[in-house]
Amino acid sequence: MKMLKGLLSVLLVLVTLSSAMGKPEATTPKKEKRIPQTLSRGWGDQLIWAQTYEEALFWSRSKNKPLMVIFHLEDCPHSQSLKKAFAEDKVIQTLADEEFVILNLVYETTDKHLSPDGQYVPRILFVDPSMTVRADITGRYSNRLYAYEPADMKLLLSNMQRALKFLKTEL
């Protein structure tokens, strides 16, 4: 079952990549200007995003800020609608900017701790500066513990506050 989920995830990525990489070449003339890809990918253009998980862990440790990892896919409508809600929520954007190291990924990492109940999108995991994945900070859905929907922004905000609170208690 895990294998199947992994395979499905790879297939999903493949679909996304082929649409991301294939279409411009196939449908637009070579000379047409592409829009440079951003690290934010639309999750908050004004925020400073880590590029890789290794980089994010390093920032998290050195700044003593919790890390928030968002897994998503460009071709997934649930990811897209969550992204819109996330990017438009000023309280979340400000808190993410000031108190978190943030990373959004369209590709799984090799760290299995980041997929406690499987690889699916969208999902959001918190990691504290000691590099421990906070598997206890979950969303509303028992079958996909780390999934959020656009209506869950209040829950996400309170989870972000939990990630920060834990940090203070531990110090």
Contact positions vs a second copy (CB under 8 A): 10, 13-14, 17, 20-21, 24, 33-34, 36-40, 45-46, 48-49, 51-55, 58-59, 62-63, 105-110
Q: Which is nearer to a second copy, 53 or 120 (CB)?
A: 53
Order of strands across the sheet that contains 123-128: 101-105, 67-71, 123-128, 132-133
Least distance to a second copy, CB of residue 107, Å: 4
Q: Which is nearer to a second copy, 61 or 162 (CB)?
A: 61
Using CA atoms in the order 57, 113, 10, 121, what is the torsion angle rounded to 10 degrees?
-80
Measured CA to CA, the distance from residue 153 to residue 82 in angstroms comes to 9
Least distance to a second copy, CB of residue 130, Å: 17
Least distance to a second copy, CB of residue 80, Å: 18
Structure letter (DSSP) for residue 49: B
Burial track 131-157 (b if 16+ CB lie within 10 A, e otherwise)? eebbeebbbeeeebbbbbbbebbeebe
Least distance to a second copy, CB of residue 60, Å: 11
Q: Which is nearer to a second copy, 87 or 137 (CB)?
A: 87
Q: Which is nearer to a second copy, 121 or 137 (CB)?
A: 121
Least distance to a second copy, CB of residue 139, Å: 24
Q: Which is nearer to a second copy, 11 or 151 (CB)?
A: 11
Measured CA to CA, the distance from residue 132 to residue 102 in angstroms comes to 15
